[in-house]
Each structure stands twice: as structure tokens, then as C-alpha cells.
């Protein structure tokens, strides 16, 4: 694509969960423009079709696959289908997630369970299914077998009021990332997480505007865009983590938050 003449991700096969909207969608488009073949996963078939059409519309390569990341059989079938179609998965972007506010004392057990089911177990299931495949890839000794990128959150490092279940579900992913980086590093698989701050996506509701989410999570150091990032701001970081430029980075949780936290 003319926009990215370097084509850093040429022919890389990248599976993105929750790619039908927001950060996943922007990352799918950005990485397809950098030459990647994208497996567009979501739970919502209409959103998948829209993203696949956008990518095919500019001459990119995409394959849509509907699966619920909380259902092991669906996840395993998706990873098999991806291998039948492309023969491998070079990069997994485990991004599907949900968010919801609740006062802690009134929180229902089902609310807590659902948050962990999607945000934490969903990442476990898809990562395990992909890593099982990656471990079988034959690659030269000086090259990586694959890369895992997990969407955690700023809230996973700095828990927010009325977001206790969400914050805890995302904090778990940060230690999953660390443990897996240690366990899989010797097998030449990197594992990193991203921690977005407030990003303008439908996760805040379908009528979300920059104005009505500006400042919801405290003070932002960087004085642009009212402190609210766009999905494309995250997509650029994901593309870097998917590319060879980041081969020597593993076990890190990278904040993309306009300077709201500094650890
Ligand atoms: N937007 C933010 O401010 C922000 C900040 C920090 C972290 N995040 C994280 O970024 C990720 C993407 O969020 P977003 O803001 O782009 O939200 P979004 O709602 O725009 O996109 C999430 C997508 O995930 C899909 N999804 C939900 N449950 C699924 C399931 N069980 N299986 C497969 N797909 C499923 C949804 O259909 C949706 O298309 C999430 O993990 C979220 O927690 C977002």
C-alpha cells in the first residue's frame, strides 16, 4: 500500500480477536495496509463482514471468522481454519474484551464472572490454541516462532473506581504476559501487552463522543485530543509489536495512554 511503502508486515498472518470494532478494527486495517494477511475474528458477523470488506476494498488480504473467545471449541476450530487457509499464524493479537461499570458492594457474582470469562479466560483460550500451533513451526534458530500481543488496559495497572472487576480482569493479563514471556521465550515466542488509556471506541456506548469521555479517568499529561486517544493511536503500536522492529522486546506492558500513568 502506498501509505506504508516499507510493508513491514508483508505476508505475515495475523489473528485479531475482537477485530470488528474499535482498537481491533483499526489494528486490522493498519496491519493489512502494512502487508499482513488478517484473520478478522469477532462475535458479531456483521462487524466482521464490514472490516473484511474495508480491507479487501483497498486490495488487502483478510479472512473473517466468527467465534466467541469464551468457547473453547469455537476458538480451536478458528485456529484450525486459519491454518487451513494460511498454513500458520505469525502473530496473535488477543484483543477481544468488554468493559462495564458497577459499584463494588452492589456487584452481582454473574457480573464479575462474565468480565473474567471474556477478558481473562478468552485470552487464555485463544493464546493456548495458537501457542500449541506455534510451538510446532520449524524456523531458523535466529528467528522467532511467533508473537503474542495481549490487550490489557491502563486500568490493569491502576485500578479505577467502579471498574473493579474490569481492572482485576485486565491486571491478570499483565502477569499472564510476564509468565508466558518467561515460559515461551526459550521457544522463541514473544509475549507483550498493551495498556490503552481512554480510547474513543464503542466500548463506551455506540453514541460515544470525545467530549463525553474526556477526563473520565483523571489527568492526562499530553495536551492533545482532549486526552482521548483514537483507535489508530493504538493500532500503530500494535503494528510495531507485530513487526520485526520489536523482535527483542518481550514481557513488556506498554502504556498507550497520553501520559496518565508512568509505570
Ligand atoms: N477503548 C478504551 O478506552 C480501552 C482502554 C483500555 C483497554 N481497552 C481494551 O481494548 C480492547 C478492545 O476494546 P475497544 O475499545 O476496541 O472495544 P469495542 O467494543 O469497540 O471492540 C471490542 C470488540 O470485541 C468483540 N467481542 C466482545 N466479546 C467477544 C467475544 N466473546 N468473542 C469475540 N469477540 C468479542 C465485540 O463484538 C467488539 O467488536 C478490549 O479488550 C478493551 O478492554 C479499551
Structural domains in the chain plus CATH codes: 13-256 (3.40.50.720)
What pLDDT is stored for residue 163 in this prediction?
97
**Active site includes 4?**
no
The percent of residues above 70 in pLDDT, for the chain, comes to: 100
**CA 81–ligand 1 middle distance (angstroms):** 23
pLDDT in tens, 181-233: 999 999 999 999 999 999 999 999 999 999 999 988 878 999 999 999 999 99
- Beta pairing partners, 9: none
- Beta pairing partners, 92: 15, 148
Q: How far apart are CA 160 and CA 190, in angstroms?
A: 29
What pLDDT is stored for residue 209 in this prediction?
96
**CA 202–ligand 1 middle distance (angstroms):** 8
**CA 139–ligand 1 middle distance (angstroms):** 32
pTM of the model: 0.99
Q: What's the rounded mean pLDDT across residues 102-118? A: 98
Q: Is the CB of 260 under 6 A from ligand 1?
A: no
Give me 172's grid cell. Answer: 491478570
Active-site residue identified among 86, 101, 166, 204:
166
> Would the pLDDT of 69 be above 80?
yes
pLDDT in tens, 116-171: 999 999 999 999 999 999 999 999 999 999 999 999 999 999 999 999 999 999 99
Residue whose Cα lies nearest atom 43 of ligand 1: it is 97
Angle in degrees, CA 20, 17, 212, rounded to 5: 50
Amino acid at each position: 500500500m502506498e501509505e506504508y511503502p516499507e510493508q513491514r508486515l508483508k505476508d505475515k498472518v495475523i489473528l485479531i480477536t475482537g477485530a470488528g470494532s474499535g482498537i481491533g478494527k483499526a489494528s486490522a486495517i493498519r496491519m493489512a495496509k502494512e502487508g499482513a494477511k488478517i484473520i478478522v475474528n469477532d462475535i458479531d458477523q456483521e462487524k466482521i463482514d464490514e472490516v473484511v470488506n474495508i480491507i479487501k476494498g483497498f486490495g488487502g488480504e483478510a479472512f473473517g471468522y466468527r467465534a466467541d473467545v469464551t468457547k473453547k471449541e469455537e476458538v480451536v476450530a478458528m485456529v484450525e481454519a486459519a491454518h487451513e487457509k494460511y498454513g500458520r499464524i505469525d502473530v496473535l493479537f488477543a484483543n477481544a474484551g468488554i468493559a462495564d461499570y458497577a459499584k463494588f458492594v452492589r456487584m452481582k457474582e454473574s457480573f464479575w464472572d462474565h468480565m473474567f470469562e471474556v477478558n481473562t479466560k478468552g485470552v487464555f483460550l485463544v493464546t493456548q490454541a495458537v501457542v500449541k500451533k506455534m510451538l510446532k513451526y520449524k524456523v531458523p534458530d535466529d528467528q522467532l516462532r511467533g508473537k503474542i500481543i495481549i490487550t490489557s488496559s491502563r486500568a490493569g495497572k491502576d485500578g479505577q473506581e467502579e471498574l473493579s472487576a474490569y481492572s482485576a480482569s485486565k491486571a491478570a493479563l499483565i502477569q499472564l504476559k510476564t509468565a508466558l514471556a518467561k515460559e515461551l521465550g526459550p521457544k522463541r515466542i514473544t509475549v507483550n501487552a498493551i495498556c490503552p488509556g481512554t480510547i474513543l471506541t464503542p466500548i463506551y456506548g455506540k453514541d460515544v463522543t470525545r467530549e463525553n469521555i474526556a477526563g473520565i479517568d483523571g489527568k492526562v499529561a499530553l495536551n492533545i485530543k482532549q486526552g482521548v486517544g483514537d483507535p489508530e493511536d493504538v493500532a500503530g503500536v500494535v503494528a510495531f509489536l507485530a513487526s520485526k522492529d520489536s523482535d527483542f522486546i518481550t514481557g513488556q506492558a506498554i502504556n498507550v495512554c497520553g501520559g496518565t500513568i508512568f509505570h
